Every structure is written in C-alpha cells, then in structure tokens.
C-alpha cells in the first residue's frame, strides 16, 4: 500500500513539474501567423477604416485579386471567405453536381473532400506515391479504368510539395476531365517554373492562420477562364441578379472576402517570397541536423519541384515512433503534429471507394510534421533538433 501511494505521489509531482516547465519555456508553434515587420498590413487596413469601407467588397478585395493573380500568373481571381469555399466554387464552376464522381487524394485535410459532398457528388479517393506524397498517377489511371465517367479530378499539393503534374494533366486531358488544384498549402511553390494552382483549370489558395501567408481566414480561386471566375463572384455574392429589386434566379452563397481581411492579404503578399525563403531554410536546417539518423527520412524534394516547404515533415522507421516525438516536444512546450490521416480511413468517408496500395496509410502511420514557424530563430531550431536527437540516445 505504501509503495502504491508513494508511486502515485511521485507521478503527481512529475506531472506538476512538467506543467511548470511547459509554462516557463518559450512556446514554439507549428506554423503561426507572421505579420510583416514593415507593417504593410496595417497600411491597407487603415485605408479600409479611413474610407469606411468595412464590407465584403472594396478596393482591397479588388486589388488583392489583381495582385495575387499577377504574382502567380493567372488571368483572373476571386477572393473568398475560405479555401474551402474556393474549392466548393471551383467544383461548381467545373459543372460538378449531384451523383457526379470526383477523384480526390486520400492523403489530405478534410477541407479538400468536404465540398464534393456539398455538391452531392461522390468522392473516390486516390492513393499517394512515395516520390511526391501526392496523388499517384498510376493509381489515378487505375481509377479511370474502374470509373470511366468522371466529372473532375481534385489534386492536392501536400505540405507545399508539388504533385507530378505533367502526368496528371496528361491523364486528365486524355479523359477530357477538368482538373482542380488544391494549392492551399503550396502558395509560392513552383512546378517546372510554373506556380502550383495555375497548371490545371482551376486553382485554390488558403489564407488560414497557419498558412504561409494569412488573412486570419480566407481563400482565393484562380483560373485563366475569366468568364467562370466572373460567375463564381456572382454565386459568392448571393447570386443577386442585375435588377433594381432583390431578385435571385440561382442558388447563391455568402462567400465573398471582407475588405478588411483583403487588406491583410495585400500586406502579406508583399512578404510571400521572404516567408518561402525562411520555410526552406527551416527544412534545410532539419535535414542537415537530423539527416544522419538512419531511422529518419524527409519528405521528398524532386528536381522539378521548388517547394515552399510549408511544413517540414519526416517519416520514422525503428523503435522511435511519431507519438514519441510529438509527446517529447509537447513536454518542452513545442508544437508538432501527425501527418494527415487519409480520408478513406475517416469515419465519415469510410463508405466511399479508395484506389491504391496503402502508401498514404504508411506515410500517416510513420509521419511527423515538425515545427515550421517562420518566426523561429536558430536557437529555437537547435532546441527542437536536440530534443529529437535525445530520443535516439
């Protein structure tokens, strides 16, 4: 009895000590908002207040659309309330409706797949390959053999890594299917010199708080089809007809971006290249400091891919498991997280078909997203890698 009580007291004291250590140690985030040191964002926000243009439309919205489209090389853009809304509008613009089949990567966040359900369409989940961590062209071809009548292919550029776009574009053209790029995590990434999000028929970006640039929330749909982008803006503004009175001939959505939020985006866009440079620096730091450990592999960087390295991710083999890394970092007040759990393994989506050979499951089971915050100093980075190295001692 005495030993049991003694062990309980020791455990309680250790937990209290861990909690105290966490509170006293500097917090390192996975990927948090990073406003410009120059204060660009405040300039545009102040303009919105000074002109009293606090609305879902305005100069900041228009210019954010123009400036981002010019940056990535797209002809037109629609600023929307979220990246999820942008995917929803892309599917609608592509003509996806009830009963249509949409091919979607299984290794992604649920926001990629949810809008397929919004349109009452049917997702079919496609496996990844180890070469890109993204949609496997081989699995995609297999899916077309099983489902020859497909309305759209929705590809993701995971963690800022570009998918194998030449092969995927070729397959989509062969089957005359529209291609939508979920570039929510890959703004600033290029594939053979071209920005992700501009290679397919439609591309979407996210400006959520954890993205490489943020507006606190928001998204953008880009395309070279001016007419469809104009239609998206119409739908996203409650589909209000051109009439003196309020008249609606189509279903509309309240999806337009706020003029204040767009001001943040305009300021953030000015520092996008700096953020990409820092994200790549963080990835290279981890690879240099941890690459000697045989049981650690890094997410794949291909010759044709200039990734933004939004998150630096590793996979593990051997006795040290992802949860060991995550918990050990948590004990030091450092944020990390698992790789996305594949969609075909999610309770909500488990009834939908999946094409592949479980590559995505293996990446999920063995993967860790390391802290990749652009405000991290070298001291912060050394703190992270030293803790991880300690797991192998």
As annotated, the active-site residues are: 211
What does the block give as tokens for 345? Answer: 């393994």
Buried b (16+ CB within 10 A) or exposed e, 222-241: bbebeebbebbbbbbbbeee
Q: Are strands 152-156 and 367-370 parallel, antiparallel or unpaired?
A: unpaired
For residues 309 and 211, the answer to whether their CB atoms sit within 8 Å is no
CA atoms within a 13 Å half-sphere pointing along the CA-CB vector of 297: 14
CA distance 329 to 29: 11
Query: CA distances (Å), 235 to each of 64, 80, 358, in order?
Result: 19, 11, 38
10 Å CB burial of residue 156 (0-12, 13-18, 19+) is buried
Rg (CA), the chain: 23
**Residue 75 pairs with which residues in a beta bridge?**
none
Quote the strand ranges of 200-279, DSSP E.
202-206, 219-223
């Amino acid at each position: 009895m005495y030993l049991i009580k003694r062990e309980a007291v020791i455990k309680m004291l250790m937990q209290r000590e861990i909690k105290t250590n966490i509170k006293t140690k500097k917090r390192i985030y996975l990927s948090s908002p990073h406003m410009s040191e120059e204060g660009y964002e405040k300039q545009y926000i102040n303009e919105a207040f000074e002109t009293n243009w606090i609305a879902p439309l305005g100069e900041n919205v228009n210019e954010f659309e123009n400036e981002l489209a010019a940056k990535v090389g797209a002809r037109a853009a629609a600023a929307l309330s979220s990246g999820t809304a942008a995917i929803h509008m892309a599917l609608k613009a592509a003509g996806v409706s009830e009963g249509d089949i949409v091919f979607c990567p299984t290794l992604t966040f649920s926001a990629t797949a949810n809008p397929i359900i919004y349109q009452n369409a049917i997702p079919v989940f496609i496996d990844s390959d180890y070469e890109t961590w993204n949609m496997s062209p081989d699995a995609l071809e297999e899916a077309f053999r099983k489902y020859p009548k497909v309305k759209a292919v929705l590809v993701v550029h995971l963690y800022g890594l570009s998918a194998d776009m030449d092969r995927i574009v070729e397959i989509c053209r062969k089957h005359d299917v529209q291609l939508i790029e979920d570039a929510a995590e890959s703004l600033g990434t290029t594939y053979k010199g071209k920005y992700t999000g501009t290679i397919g028929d439609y591309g979407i970006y996210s400006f959520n708080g954890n993205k490489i640039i943020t507006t606190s929330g928001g998204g953008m749909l880009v395309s070279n089809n001016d007419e469809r982008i104009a239609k998206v803006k119409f739908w996203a503004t409650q589909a209000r007809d051109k009439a003196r009175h309020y008249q609606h001939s189509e279903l509309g959505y309240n999806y337009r971006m706020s003029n204040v939020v767009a001001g943040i985006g305009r300021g953030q866009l000015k520092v996008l290249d700096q953020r990409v440079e820092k994200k790549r620096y963080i990835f290279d730091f981890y690879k240099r400091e941890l690459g000697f450990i045989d049981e650690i592999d890094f997410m794949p960087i291909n010759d044709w891919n200039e990734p933004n390295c939004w998150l630096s991710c590793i996979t593990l083999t051997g006795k040290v498991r992802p949860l060991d890394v995550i918990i050990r970092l948590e004990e030091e007040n450092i944020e990390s997280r698992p790789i996305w759990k594949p969609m075909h393994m999610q309770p909500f989506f488990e009834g939908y078909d999946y094409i592949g050979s479980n590559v995505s499951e293996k990446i999920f089971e063995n993967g860790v997203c390391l802290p990749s915050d652009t405000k991290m100093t070298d001291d912060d980075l050394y703190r992270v890698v030293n803790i991880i190295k300690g797991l192998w001692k």
